[in-house]
Amino acid sequence: MKLFKASLLTLALTSTASAYAESIAVTNATIHTMTEQGVLTNATVVFDEGVITAINPETVNADTSIDAGGKTLTPGFIGSMNQLGLVEVSAVSSTRDSSEKKANITFDASTAFNPKSTVIPYTRKGGITTNISVPRGGDDMFKGQAFFADLSGEFDSIRMTDVAVIVDLGAKRKGSRAMEIQKLRHKLQDTKEALSKAKKDKKDAKKPKRADQAINALLAGEKPMIAYVDRATDILALLALKKEFSLDLVIAGAGDAVSVADEIAQAEVPVIMGAINNLPSFDALHRTLASASTLFDAGVNVAYSVSGDTHNLYMLRFDAGISVANGVSKENALKAVTANVADAFNIDAGRIAVGKKADLVLWSGDPFELSTRVEQMWIDGVETSTLSRQDALRDRYTAETNMPRAYVK
């Protein structure tokens, strides 16, 4: 038995070592760094051990060299505000692990994350290498904690838990939105006073409950609070709370944000929105396809999420392309699916720079064009396939055979 365990350990170490056995250089690429370096042409990036080690070195020292032929190399796109890995089939309740009726601010759905979900390889087709999954929570306005994972499909793909606190405000089917904002303010105020009292009286101080610990983290600015809200008045109420409690606030949804774009920019609050979500509502009468452009022009850091079902996350790049057709620059659209997402959640991703994780995508053309495809993808420095279950089904049912298609193995 001991010998068997030792063999397994040796195999695991060998597998890990082989994944990083070679350093790789991608040469002659058009690199969108998402940093102050901007766009580099005929450029080289070198990565080893899962980390970018050099950009445009004088001498290229790498085990493998890949000539990009001038094609586009970007950071891997980052998905967010979805339930990827938590929901397999929306219509089958037993495959939905993103919500729980009694969930509160402490709800951590990361333990239910399925890296082997068939949705993940399909999502990689859209150039998405990492994702921030968020719980839907329960009856409480606090829906739980977001977590950050790569889309390698490996069991150790969760990179960080408790990335952000998710809160759902705004319109309610029952009751008043005013009560939710009021409850949030009271919760912040009560916790702040309790924290202050505990600091003064250290002898009688008790370890705060987990829910209070999460609120303390918000008050200390240690993690962002992502608030779902659309109506302009609700956004202004949140901006007031940010100022009062020094919150690291991020607004999600933001349907009517264009009405208070200057106030959002002045408060330096990022906005996460669906780039093609243009249907008006009572809370978002001014929402159009040009909303993202208006916010960018006002100086707001905008990040894109996919409107609708998690299973359509691979379409994130197409949504970004539609925003370009409606006034957003290509560079800002790229930021909205890379660096701006990373900044909103305070995660180390979304840029091509020395020391960053080697999450990279080489495209056949413009990433926002429908005909463009992912030619090569690296997650944590390891080349990763974009083949999915859909590809296998296509091959199965288009194979030449004398038997009925349904019987093809």
Over the stretch 262-316, which tens digit does the pLDDT of each residue have?
999 999 999 999 999 999 999 999 999 999 999 999 999 999 999 767 889 999 9
* 3-state SS assignment for residue 309: coil
Residue 406 has pLDDT above 70, yes or no: no
pLDDT tens-digit series, residues 65-74: 999 999 999 9
Q: If pLDDT is split at 50, 70 and 90, which confidence band does 408 have?
A: low
End-to-end CA distance of the chain: 38
Least confident among 50-64, 170-184, 263-277, 345-359: 170-184
Yes or no: say if 131 and 120 are a contact pair by the CB < 8 Å rule: no
Yes or no: say if 20 and 50 are a contact pair by the CB < 8 Å rule: yes
Q: If pLDDT is split at 50, 70 and 90, which confidence band does 17 have?
A: very low
Q: If pLDDT is split at 50, 70 and 90, which confidence band does 22 have?
A: confident
| CA distances in angstroms from 302 to 25, 157, 319, 339, 342, listed in the order given | 32, 26, 13, 10, 11
Per-residue pLDDT, averaged over 81-110, amounts to 94
Q: Can you list the domains of the chain with their CATH numbers? A: 1-76+351-409 (2.30.40.10), 77-349 (3.20.20.140)
Residue 15 has pLDDT above 60, yes or no: no
For the chain, give the mean pLDDT: 91
pLDDT tens-digit series, residues 116-157: 999 999 999 999 999 999 999 999 999 999 999 999 999 999
d(CA 347, CA 159): 10
- Of 308, 299, 284, 296, nearest to 334 by C-alpha is 296
121 phi, psi to nearest 5 deg? -60, -35
Angle (deg, nearest 10), helices 210-219 and 177-200: 90
Residue 3 has pLDDT above 50, yes or no: no
Residue 4 has pLDDT above 90, yes or no: no
* Long-range pairs for 48-51: beta carbons < 8 A, 24 or more residues apart: 48/20, 48/23, 48/24, 48/381, 49/20, 49/381, 50/20, 50/357, 50/358, 50/380, 50/381, 50/382, 51/355, 51/356, 51/357, 51/358, 51/381
Q: What is the pLDDT of residue 393?
A: 85
How do beta strands 24-32 and 72-75 pair?
parallel
Instruction: Return the structure tokens found at 273.
Output: 């929105």
Residue 395 has pLDDT above 70, yes or no: yes
Per-residue pLDDT, averaged over 365-386, amounts to 97
- Of 181, 159, 162, nearest to 170 by C-alpha is 181
pLDDT tens-digit series, residues 158-216: 999 999 999 999 888 888 999 999 999 999 999 999 888 877 776 556 777 888 899 99
Per-residue pLDDT, averaged over 324-337, amounts to 98
Residue 330 has pLDDT above 70, yes or no: yes
How do beta strands 360-363 and 72-75 pair?
antiparallel
Per-residue pLDDT, averaged over 99-112, amounts to 95
Per-residue pLDDT, averaged over 251-268, amounts to 97
d(CA 329, CA 262): 19
Q: What is the pLDDT of residue 405?
A: 61
325 phi, psi to nearest 5 deg? -70, -10
| C-beta neighbour count of 67 within 10 angstroms | 11
- Of 271, 264, 195, 269, nearest to 228 by C-alpha is 271
Residue 402 has pLDDT above 80, yes or no: no
Q: Is the pTM of this model over 0.75?
A: yes
Which residues are 136's β-sheet partners?
none
d(CA 182, CA 178): 6
Instruction: Return the structure tokens found at 103.
Output: 């969930």
Angle (deg, nearest 10), helices 177-200 and 232-245: 0
* Long-range pairs for 42-47: beta carbons < 8 A, 24 or more residues apart: 42/70, 45/73, 45/352, 45/360, 47/23, 47/358, 47/360, 47/378, 47/381
Q: If pLDDT is split at 50, 70 and 90, which confidence band does 342 have?
A: very high
8-34 exposure pattern, b = at least 16 Cβ within 10 A, e = fewer: eeeeeeeeeeebeeebbbbbbbbbbbb
Q: If pLDDT is split at 50, 70 and 90, which confidence band does 400 have?
A: confident
Q: What is the pLDDT of residue 407?
A: 63
How much of the chain, in percent, has pLDDT values that exceed 90?
A: 81
d(CA 255, CA 278): 8
d(CA 120, CA 55): 30
pLDDT tens-digit series, residues 209-244: 888 899 999 999 999 999 999 999 999 999 999 999
Per-residue pLDDT, averaged over 9-27, amounts to 62
